[in-house]
Structure 1
Amino acid sequence: MTLSNPVLASAAPPLPRRIRLGGVPVDLHHQDDALSLIRGHTVAEAGRPLGVVSVNLDHLHHFGQGGALNGAFGIREGSRAEVAWLHLIDGAPVAAEARRLTARTWPRLAGSDLIHPLLRNAEADGVSVGFLGGSPQTHRDLPAALAAQHPRLRLAGLWSPSREDLLDDDKSRDLAESIAAAGVDILVVCLGKPRQELWIDRYGAASKARVLLAFGAVADFLAGRVNRCPQWVASHGLEWAWRLAIEPKRLAKRYLVQGPGAYRMLHDERGRDITAPSRVIQAH
């Protein structure tokens, strides 16, 4: 693989400041820093793969303090986890609580906002991208949409496993081996929470991808099958309402039933600073 910017391969990514909100870690970054850190891992030739996760109320519902899956990924008893994790703010309530705790404003870094800059970096660096998850219809439309938006992007493959396959350890390992055989450098994992984080944690290293992005509905956005909300809606923290109006049957439980409990969790489990800067996402 030829690097267009050799400095990225040798420069260590900056250490983040990490806090804990609602019982989950949150790494505080502005967009340029996050993109640089992810890019550094993409072109690194050694070290653990990097998993990138979005922290929002849905994330807290599954993985927060009191959630059924609290501590279910990123932790290994007596040994180092195979995947390093970067936890980025995605959701207005999480951004507001981070601001309250640190007295600084931190941006929302949603996967749908980061994906195009990440794909442009992949084009420039000549690294390959694959997509795991999304419907067959999305996979039908995605290659042409990517070719139009990112004509120099190397698309290594598309995988659309069933939920049953994802629950089967042997089939998931076969899936990871298939991704590895395709030579994927960046794997965009669109399985929805909590499946995407759990799959990355267990099988991400076996896929041989350098970066694994737990980005939910991003494949649908890229393929043009789901429209993103207008910027003024997102800037007022109302993207959830926009998506609920578009997909009420699928999202009503998440936003109207699970969301309020996660919001209470965010404020009942008051955020605290993690004093030592985290080293879990260094490239080497």
Structure 2
Amino acid sequence: MSRQALAGMMAGASSATAADGPPRLAFDLNGQGLAMSVWNGDYRSNLLMADLVHADGQPLVIASRILTGTPIAERSATTDMFHDLAAVAQQSGRSFYLLGGTEEVNRDCARKLQDLYPALRIAGRRDGFFSRAEEPAICAEINASGADIIWVGLGKPNEQAFCVRNRPLLRAGWVITCGGCFNFVAGTYRRAPQWMQDAGLEWIFRMVTRPRQLAWRYLTTSPLAFLLLLLRTHECSPTAQRQTHAR
């Protein structure tokens, strides 16, 4: 599915809204998540609860093109998808709730969104620093805002666990995990040059520009992720494809 099709499905005029009940879950998958799914059973179980898993990492797209006859249409990097949905949502009237990041980053992200998409309604926002005991109250706050699309930027595996755990409490069309997306929108993180993104090398750019935060993560997850892509990328059976589309 293309980025344009994803945006239309999630934020278009016919997309699900807050009035439709418990939300659908959309989780991103990249090399870190692929590796984490091997050693973290809870994360793997939560990932399987998603209604939609999209390819946030270009290596996943490249592997699908080389090793299967049903390649992924294109990469849907979460930061790009964030802008795609914002552009569509301001036309359809769908609203956002931003959950995650520091207060400063969350605030700056909301301001940047309003500058870029003046007609977009941001129903509410709050930072990502809270205890599990506070989650029911946070869900009630989100529901009261009437947000149609909830962006959850708490980092893996916390954001997936939050979404699955609180799905019964939430009323929205979609809940979408977004990692550090708010930082990119706010301008505190930089994207890699386009050629590195296209070549599946954005992780190297991030590791070099933020070595203290990311060097260990990428050095420990990227080799395993590449091995998994090589050994486990295969065609889905017709039955599996039907089950995937029906979720």
Same fold, judged at TM 0.5 (above): yes
- Partner Cα separation in structure 1 for residue 120 and residue 168 of structure 2: 23
Alignment of 1:224-235 (within 5 A): 224-235=187-198
Counterpart residue number, 1:198: 161
Counterpart of 1:107 in structure 2: which amino acid?
A: E
Q: Secondary structure at the match of 2:98?
A: strand
Counterpart residue number, 1:73: 46
Out of 95, 107, 110, the position equivalent to 2:74 is 107
CA contact (8 A) 1:190 1:219 kept: yes
Could you tell me how far 1:207 is from its partner in structure 2? 2.3
Could you tell me how far 1:105 is from its partner in structure 2? 5.7
Query: How many residue pairs are counted as aligned between the two chains?
Result: 243
CA contact (8 A) 1:41 1:50 kept: no
- Partner Cα separation in structure 2 for residue 206 and residue 234 of structure 1: 37
Counterpart residue number, 1:249: 212
Alignment of 1:153-232 (within 5 A): 153-162=120-129, 165=131, 168=132, 170-232=133-195
Q: Secondary structure at the match of 1:107?
A: coil
RMSD: 2.4
- Partner Cα separation in structure 2 for residue 193 and residue 206 of structure 1: 21
Deviation digits for residues 232-253 of structure 1, max 9, x if unmatched? Answer: 2211211111111221111112
Out of 28, 44, 59, the position equivalent to 1:54 is 28
Out of 15, 31, 34, the position equivalent to 2:6 is 34
Counterpart of 2:204 in structure 1: which amino acid?
A: A
Over 3 Å counting, the alpha-carbon distance change for 1:43 and 1:161 in structure 2 is closer
Over 3 Å counting, the alpha-carbon distance change for 1:186 and 1:248 in structure 2 is same
- Partner Cα separation in structure 2 for residue 160 and residue 260 of structure 1: 33
Deviation digits for residues 168-199 of structure 1, max 9, x if unmatched? Answer: 2x322221111111111111111111111111
Structure 1 spans left out of the alignment, 5+ residues = 1-28, 76-80
Runs of 4+ that moved beyond 3 A: 40-48, 66-71, 277-283
Could you tell me how far 1:267 is from its partner in structure 2? 2.4
- Partner Cα separation in structure 1 for residue 116 and residue 69 of structure 2: 37
- Partner Cα separation in structure 2 for residue 155 and residue 136 of structure 1: 15
Could you tell me how far 1:126 is from its partner in structure 2? 1.3
Higher helix share: 2
Deviation digits for residues 81-115 of structure 1, max 9, x if unmatched? Answer: 6xx52111122221122121125463111111111
- Partner Cα separation in structure 1 for residue 243 and residue 22 of structure 2: 12
Q: Secondary structure at the match of 2:189?
A: coil
Over 3 Å counting, the alpha-carbon distance change for 1:48 and 1:220 in structure 2 is same
CA contact (8 A) 1:51 1:86 kept: yes
Could you tell me how far 1:32 is from its partner in structure 2? 2.4
Over 3 Å counting, the alpha-carbon distance change for 1:70 and 1:154 in structure 2 is closer
- Partner Cα separation in structure 2 for residue 143 and residue 108 of structure 1: 25
Over 3 Å counting, the alpha-carbon distance change for 1:161 and 1:70 in structure 2 is closer
Identity %: 26
- Partner Cα separation in structure 1 for residue 21 and residue 76 of structure 2: 24
Verify: 1:117 aligned to 2:66, yes or no: no
Out of 59, 64, 79, the position equivalent to 1:98 is 64
| TM-score of the pair, normalised by structure 1 | 0.77
Out of 236, 240, 245, the position equivalent to 1:273 is 236
| TM-score of the pair, normalised by structure 2 | 0.87
Counterpart of 1:115 in structure 2: which amino acid?
A: F
Over 3 Å counting, the alpha-carbon distance change for 1:142 and 1:105 in structure 2 is closer
Counterpart residue number, 2:108: 141
